[in-house]
Amino acid sequence: MQLLKERILKDGVVKPGNVLKVDSFLNHQMDIPLINEIGKEFRCRFADAPITKILTIEASGIGIACITAQYFQVPVVFAKKAQSVNLDGEMYTTKVESFTHKRVYDVILSKKYLSPEDHVLIIDDFLANGCALMGLIDIVKKSGATLEGAGIVIEKGFQQGGKTIRDMGVRLESLAIIDSMTDTSLTFR
């Protein structure tokens, strides 16, 4: 998606540890006209899929998922990062290792909001090693819902998440795939 790539080149900042900061338009301050275009693009790419629900993970996925959902006219449900898991059987639970915070979270989703009749599109801001996405895919599997695919805004193609997820046979659409990045240069696939 050309508009997004241009914006990353203009305003993205590469930090040590292979972290790309996009706080001025995606992760902290949010550029709504740009995210509208992102939502439209996801709608185009998954136009043939019978999506009934969009699934994301808190926090940065939520805003993007909500704007995208307006183009699909379906609800958004977001997995929550929990301090402790109450194993009362009412929640789907999984574990996710955070790329940016280097710790493992329990992630939970109420069983009320995902069921075997659902056709799910997962939306997230970044794909790096794939832990967040694998956690969400695990939740979809546990629910018995059909996974239609995953839409990612920025994939860091030099990390292994994209390959792992595609090798699993998941339909993965990333709007910008970064091939390499240093503090002075950034290239796209």
Is 27 marked as a binding-site residue? Answer: yes
* CB neighbour class for 117 (10 Å; exposed up to 12, middle 13-18, buried from 19): exposed
Amino acid type, 98: S
30 binds ligand 5GP, rule: CB under 6 A:
no
152 binds ligand 5GP, rule: CB under 6 A:
no
Amino acid type, 163: K
155 binds ligand 5GP, rule: CB under 6 A:
no
132 binds ligand 5GP, rule: CB under 6 A:
yes
76 forms beta bridges with 54
- CA dist 121 and 53 (Å) reads 6
Candidates 39, 92, 126, 172: give the one binding ligand 5GP (CB under 6 A).
Answer: 126
Span of 21-29, 62-70, 81-89, 114-122 interacting with ligand 5GP by CB under 6 A:
21-29
Q: Where are the beta strands (DSSP E) in the chain?
A: 13-15, 19-21, 53-57, 76-82, 91-97, 104-110, 119-127, 146-156, 172-181, 186-188
160 binds ligand 5GP, rule: CB under 6 A:
no
60 binds ligand 5GP, rule: CB under 6 A:
yes
127 binds ligand 5GP, rule: CB under 6 A:
yes
- CA dist 149 and 135 (Å) reads 14
CB of 187 to ligand 5GP, least distance (A): 15
Place of tokens 């995208």: 68
Closest by CA to 84, choosing from 100, 108, 112, 111, is 108
4 binds ligand 5GP, rule: CB under 6 A:
no
99 binds ligand 5GP, rule: CB under 6 A:
yes
- Cα–Cα–Cα angle for 19, 41, 131, rounded to 5 degrees: 35
70 binds ligand 5GP, rule: CB under 6 A:
no
128 binds ligand 5GP, rule: CB under 6 A:
yes
Site residues (vs ligand 5GP, CB under 6 A): 19-22, 27, 60, 99-100, 124-133, 156, 161
Query: What residue numbers does the annotated binding site for 5-phospho-alpha-D-ribose 1-diphosphate cover?
Result: 128-132
